[in-house]
Structure formats: structure tokens, C-alpha cells
Structure 1
Amino acid sequence: MTRSAAQKHTRQAGAFLAIGGLAFLVDAAVFNLLAFWVTGHGPFYDQPVVAKTIAIVVASLVTYVGNRYWTFNDRHLPHRWSRYALFVVFNLVAIGLQLGCLAFSRYVLHLEGPIPDNIAGTLIGQTLATLFRYLTYDRFVFPHEEPAAGQDEGAPVTSAP
């Protein structure tokens, strides 16, 4: 890997982690509001998997927009419905990773409350999901595609995501 390629990869990984950090905060905030509210028992306290699903969907919107327009903004990405389909499929797998960690903690280990739910679903689950997303987004959702003949490669990407 050349120095410029390494710098590009480092910038890209840093941007991905920054977007992931923002999504982490969104996920944690929405989940905690739904599950624990201010009083300790939110509207979805007895349904933490539902609360986490809602939180992940909101955070996933943040990750798509952030990664498309910042992390992978240098990629020529023609408008394709398959890209959206792949994004959805990979996010469903990532959601499964997060929900699996939360469900295992809550229903197998019988750990309940803000601390175990956040460690299992938000910290461990989202870490696994973020790693999975980075690997799949880079290769399948936002792959670099050569511009069509006649299009300036240095021109900013203006095509729809």
C-alpha cells in the first residue's frame, strides 16, 4: 500500500469511526429514552428489543447519510437500487448482532436494567455491528466504481446516493 493510499484509508477509517461515534450516541440516547426514560421505566422497559430496534433504525439513517456524504464521498456511485438493498440487508444483519447481544443478556443471563442493557446492546452489540458495517459498506455498499467515459474523475460526485 502506498503512502497516499494508506493516508486515504486512515482518513476513511477515521471518518467512519466519527460517524459511528455519532450513531452510537444517537442509538444510546434513543434506546435509553424508550427503555428507561427519566424515571427508570420508559414506555418500552419490558420490551427492550423493540426499543433497541427503533434506536438502531434511527442511528442507521445517521450512518447512511454520514458515510455516503463524508466517509465515502470520494467514490463515484451511480444511482442503483441494489446499493440501497445491500445497505438494508447488511443493516439487518448488524441489527441482528446488536439485538442478539441484548436478548442474550436480558433473556438468557437474566440481567436487567440500564447498565447491563447498555453494555450488552449498545457497547458490545454496536461494536460488533460497527465492525461488520465497515467491512461490508466499504466493499459492497459504497464500492469505488470507475466513472463513465467522458466524466472528469476529479470532479465532485453529484450523483444521487
Structure 2
Amino acid sequence: MRARALEIARFLSVGGVAFVVDLGLFNLLRFGPGHVLEGKPITAKVISVAAATLVSWLGNRHWTFAEHATPQRGRELFVFAVINVLCAAIPIGTLAFSHYTLDLVSQTADNISTVIGIAIGTVLRYIGYKRWVFTGHRP
């Protein structure tokens, strides 16, 4: 039980860093200097999710699930990427729904819809990583 709690704490720590990268880069692209992608919230979100995924892979592979890493790094990376692509669709979907269906286009609305999607995706990622990615056992 203690080991699981520590693993979840590490997972959430890595997720917290990835969250800051995701939300920070999204806001920088949309609302930062030059408003680079001001009118393209989905493009900004895809870029920020990709950057956050790289951060998440490194943290989870080398810290959170280091004891469960397998020697098959290529397989791990592939399945990790598939899970992240599927889970990345969640915050992108919640943002698109809020922005285009509900016509909630403020910075606050964009961030709230993104946070809701990230929370749902986080739970699904943890389950996916435990079940399909980091399946090795302690040496």
C-alpha cells in the first residue's frame, strides 16, 4: 500500500510538471507576446500536449515507474505514445466543445475546459501506464 501511494505521488508530481508545461505553453502560444496562435486554440493545444507528453515520458520512465520499466523500450514508448494520443484527445475535445459548441471563448473558459480534460485524461493515463506500458517487475 505504501509503495502504491509513493508511486501515485510520483505520477502526480510528473503529471504536475507536465501540466505546467501543457497549460503554460498553451497560454503562451494563445495569449503571450505576439499572440502566435491566438485564433488557433486547437493548434496551440496540440503543440502544448506534445511538449507535455515528452516531459511525462521522461519522468514516468525514469522515476515513477522505473522499477517496472521493461527492457523493451521501443514497445514501451510506442504504447505510451498511443495512450497519450488517445488521452490527449480528451482535453482537446473538452476545449473544442467549450470553445465551438458552447461558444465560451474567454481565456478562463479555455483554461477550465482544458483542466477538466486533463483531469479525466490523467486518471486514464495512470491506468493505461500500469496496465499496458510499464509492465516489468523488480529485478
- Give the TM-score category using the shorter length: over 0.9
C-alpha contact 2:70 2:76 (8 A) present in aligned 1: no
What SS class does the counterpart of residue 144 from structure 1 fall into? coil
Runs of 4 or more above 6 Å deviation: none
What SS class does the counterpart of residue 74 from structure 1 fall into? helix
For residues 135 and 21 of structure 2, the distance between their equivalents in structure 1, rounded to whole angstroms, comes to 26
Q: Which runs of 5+ in 2 are unaligned?
A: none
Pick one of 100, 104, 118 that aligns with 2:93: 100
- 1:56 pairs with 2:49: yes
For residues 134 and 75 of structure 1, the distance between their equivalents in structure 2, rounded to whole angstroms, comes to 13
Letter in 2 for 1:75: H
User: Which structure shows the higher helix fraction?
Assistant: 2
Quote the offset at 1:76 in angstroms.
Answer: 4.5
Q: Which runs of 5+ in 1 are unaligned?
A: 1-5, 147-152, 154-161
The CA RMSD measured in Å over matched residues stands at: 1.4
- 1:82 pairs with 2:83: no
- 1:138 pairs with 2:93: no
- 1:23 pairs with 2:40: no
Q: Highest Rg: 1 or 2?
A: 1
Percent of aligned pairs with the same amino acid: 37
Superposition TM-score, scaled by structure 2 size: 0.94
Quote the offset at 1:137 in angstroms.
Answer: 0.6
Quote the offset at 1:38 in angstroms.
Answer: 4.4
Q: How many residues align?
A: 139
- 1:117 aligned residue: 110
